[in-house]
Every structure is written in structure tokens, then in C-alpha cells.
Structure 1
Amino acid sequence: MTEAPGEVALRTEALSKSFGGVHAVNDATTEFYQGRINGLIGPNGSGKTTFFNCVTGMIPPDSGHVYYRDRDITRWQPHRVARAGIGRTFQLCRVFPRLTVLDNLLVAVHPPHPLAYFGRPRVALLVERARDILARVGLDHLETSEARDISYGQQKLLELAAALMANPAMVMLDEPAGGVNPALIERIAVLVTELNAEGTTFLVVEHNMEFIMNLCHHVVVFDRGRPIAAGSAAQVQQDPKVLEAYLGV
């Protein structure tokens, strides 16, 4: 896929985060495009997940700024970032294991005991939306199953479905193909492509290079906490700095 110039959805300026003497994210200035599937790759320990956590408010950066649609969202709490239109999944799948598949989606968008807050008509609409999304990701036949009883790959799909419940404009996926069988990886790739064609922007962290290179329009490469290359998949694969980071050559 070719590089995707255009409107910037998410950008960071000199973003940094350290843990003790380890600079997990180090003066990272990046741009990710609106309406595209963006990729973020790099060797193990290059700071990708920490970058995600700083952007989405899971941890505060030490310095620098995060801008979403030119609005400074630095150090916003996660719920506020979500309300701004950014959804995310996690490297280690986060679902509620003892809740049903359907209830996992319902708790993603409102507090417990929703009838006390929204009333029955609102809940009925949420249930209808949840079932539509479960059908979209291929989990509708499992809606009454507890999340702990479905496969890890299905839990990955469930987590993505929960992220979609709030209808985010941008979805950040942290290793969606990790620990997932090839058939489900293909399903995730097709789903991301379809949602992107419908207008959803994506930022994907992934170690599966085939998945990233076939899927993404624009790829940023991290090494030692900072971006070292950006461009189309073909461009970053040929970049000497990227080869050195991955292969030590």
C-alpha cells in the first residue's frame, strides 16, 4: 500500500515517558492519518505499548503533547479520551470473564445497573446495537456464553466489539493478531478493512509483519522509544535504519 498523505488524526510532539532510568518513549514526534489504517511497529521493548498508554491516558507522559484532531488531549483521563472518539484494545486481552459475551458489550458503554440510569427504551437500543456488532464480528452465536468459555481469539474479537460500542472515530489496536490462529487473523484483517472503508481510522501495533504490511496504508517504526522511519509499508521495509533496528545489520 502507498503512503497516505492527508489530514492528520493523531499526532504527538516530543512525547516522553521514563520508568526509572529506562526511556520507554523518548522525544517521540509522530503523525497518523485520518481515515486510514496506520501501523506502529518496532522491535520488542521499543516503546509501542507505552506510547499507546500515554496517548489514551492510561499513564501520564513525563513531557510532550498528544493532539487528537488538533485538540490537546495530553494527560486526559481514559474515559475522557474515549468520549473524544478514541477506542482501544490491549496487548493482553481485557474482557470480563464471568459476564456473558453480550453483557461485555453493554458494560463497555454504561455503568452497572443501567436501568437506574437510562430506562428500558435506552437499554433496548443498546442491546440491539450490541447484537448488531456481535453479528458483525461473528460472535452473535455466542452472546449467552461467558467470556471465559470462548477461545482467546474470540476474546480478541469480543474486546474489539466492545471498543466499537461507543462508535469511535479512531480505534487503536494493541497486537490484535497476537496469540490468534490464522483464520481469526484473517477475519480481524477483513473486519478492520471493512470498518476503515466505512470511515473508521485505525492505529495498529503488531509484531506480525505480514499482517501489518498487507493491511496498513501508513507505517511508523519505533526503536528505543522514538520513531526512526515513517511511510508506506514498502518504504519502511527498505529503510536502512529499520533493517538495522530489526536485524542489527
Structure 2
Amino acid sequence: MNSTTNIATTGLTKSFGGVRAVDHATVEFQDGKINAVIGPNGSGKTTFFNCVTGMIRPDSGTVSYRGRDVTGKAPHRIAAAGIGRSFQLCRIFPRMTVLENVLAAARPRGVAALLGSARGTAEIERARGWLRRVGIDHLEGVEARDLSYGQQKLLELAGVLMAEPETIMLDEPAGGVNPALIDRIATLVRELNAEGRTFIVVEHNMELVMSLSDHVVVFDRGRPIAEGPPDTVRADPAVLEAYLGV
């Protein structure tokens, strides 16, 4: 592992019954860069994310974050180490307001007390700052269930950012989102990356991946089959075979 490695896995494996969803995956992601993970449906991308972030425990192999072994750690410990993530299907509290959702991301058991205390003022203003940053501050009093799906994606991202992670893993941020909001998400990712945050993004939108990423890793059948700059990966015969069967 070199000094520019962010998250790295060695031999990471996870099976469900007789299906090996992640198959001895060994891969490194670059620190300070926008990394993308692509691959056909069922290639193991989300299971890989879940193993890395502690949502499920791998059967074997290791996960390290900036040289520190975090294999099998609980999700809250992974988060405390500096890794935040979003999910393929938004995880929000539908009957809570937009502002309450962002506060809950940082204080899941103490939102009511926070809202009712003078000492919570700074946290509330910080939450409002992230809502401004993602462009939905005007909706802070709206219940999350009343947002569009794209706005819910932005709300989830604001919640991730509330924890101030150094590394952000996004699972299909453009999925089901209209083009205008995709552009907003892409702009946010670029800005936050320029400010020092590392990104690892699972995405099916190839136009977005190729325009946004510095480094692309391609998964097929549970393991990485190619990696490198977008133009190099796009022309790789193994990638063409995995996607197109050619």
C-alpha cells in the first residue's frame, strides 16, 4: 500500500448461500480523488460497499482505511474513523422535517433535546449550513416524505456531510434523479473533493462517471477486473466484454 491509498481491500469475500457476491476482491482507492466503482448489475458493488462500511461482515479478507485495519468493525466505528456513506435507496426519516433529518444524522438519539436547548444552536446552524450547501435550505421545515426523490438524495447527502467525514462513499447518487439535480450533485462532489474530501462512488450513469472520476474500478462477478483513468478503463477489452459480451 502506498501513501496515497485511501481504502484498500485484500481478498475480500462475501457469500450468500451458494452465491459469492464478493469474490476475493483486492483493490485500492486513491486518497484525495474521486473514485468510481462501476460494473454490470449483480457484479457485487453494493455488497462490497456494505462490507467496507460494516453493514455486513465479510467472510474473509481485510479492509483498511489509510493503513488502519477496520475489517468487520461496526458501522458507527467505521463512521467515527472518517467514512460516511449514502445508500442506493435513501435512508431518511420520512415524517421528520428536513432540518430534523440532518440533525438526526449527527445525533440520532437526541434531536428533540437538541432542538430545545440553547447549546444546540451551533449544531442547528451547522445543519442549516449544509442544507444551504446542497441547495434545499428553503425546505427545512418540510417533512422529508414530501420532497422529490432527487431532493431526498440531497437531504441524505447533507446528513452524511453533517458528520464531517473525510471520505464519502455514495451508492448510485444519480439513480432516479432528474438531469438538473444530477448536475447539482456532480458540482457538489467536485467542490467537496477540491476542499479535501475523498469520494468513492458506485454509479451506473456512465456519462457522469467518465466526466466526474479521476480513477475508475470495474467490478464483474464479485471482483475488480480493471482499474485506471476513465479513458483507459473505457477502452479495456475486459470491460467491454463484461458490459457488452464482445
Contact kept, 8 Å, 1:114 with 1:123, in 2: the verdict is: no
Q: Which amino acid aligns with 1:207?
A: H
Aligned to 2:110: 113
Where 1:108 maps in the other structure, the secondary structure is: helix
Moved more, 122-131 or 23-32: 122-131
TM-score normalised by length of structure 1? 0.95
2:40 aligns with 43
Q: Distance in 2 between matches of 1:181 and 1:119?
A: 37
Is 2:153 the counterpart of 1:156?
A: yes
Q: Which has the higher contact order (CA 8 A, sep 6+)?
A: 1
List structure 1 runs of 4+ shifted beyond 6 angstroms: none
Distance 1:69 1:111 in 2: 27
- Cα separation, partners in 2 of 1:185 and 1:27, compared to 1, 3 Å: same
Query: Structure 1 residue 110: deviation in Å?
Result: 1.1
Q: Which amino acid aligns with 1:248?
A: G
Give the gaps of 5 or more residues in structure 2: none
- The letter of the residue matching 1:20 is G
Aligned to 1:14: 11
Q: Which residue in 1 is equivalent to 2:195?
A: 198
CA distance in 2, matches of 1:111, 1:242: 41
TM superposition shift of 1:114:
4.7
Partner Cα distance (1:158, 1:114) in 2: 16
Paired residue for 2:51?
A: 54
The count of corresponding residues between Structure 1 and Structure 2 is: 245
Paired residues of 2:114 and 2:120 also in contact (CA < 8 A) = no
TM, length-normalised to structure 2: 0.97
Q: Is the Cα contact below 8 Å between 2:100 and 2:111 reproduced in 1?
A: no
Deviation at 1:111, TM superposition (A): 3.4
CA distance in 2, matches of 1:127, 1:148: 21
- Cα distance in structure 2, aligned partners of 1:225 and 1:140: 39
Match of 1:134 among 120, 131, 135: 131
CA distance in structure 2 between the aligned counterparts of 1:158 and 1:150, rounded to whole angstroms? 9
Calculate percent identity across the aligned residue pairs. Answer: 67
Task: Quote the Cα distance in structure 2 between the aligned partners of 1:97 and 1:199.
Answer: 31
User: Which of 56, 63, 68 in structure 1 is aligned with 2:65?
Assistant: 68
Alpha-carbon separation, structure 2, partners of 1:52 and 1:218: 17
Residues of 2 paired with 1:216 and 1:100: CA distance? Answer: 33
Q: How does 1:164-175 map to 2 (within 5 A)?
A: 164-175=161-172
**What's the offset of the Cα at 1:123?**
1.4
User: Do residues 32 (structure 1) and 34 (structure 2) align?
Assistant: no
Match of 2:211 in 1: 214
SS at match of 1:74: coil
Assess, with a 3 A threshold, how the Cα gap between structure 1 residues 117 and 159 changes in structure 2: closer, same or farther: closer
- 1:129-177 CA distance string (max 9 Å, x none): 0000000000000000000001000000000110000100000000000
CA deviation after TM superposition for structure 1 residue 124, in Å: 1.0
Structure 1 residue 125 displacement after superposition: 1.1
Letter in 2 for 1:225: G
Of 81, 84, 101, which aligns to 2:98? 101
- C-alpha RMSD over aligned residues: 1.5
State the one-letter code of the partner of 2:207: E
Shift of 1:112: 2.6
Residues 93 and 155 in structure 1, CA contact (< 8 A), matched pair in contact too: yes
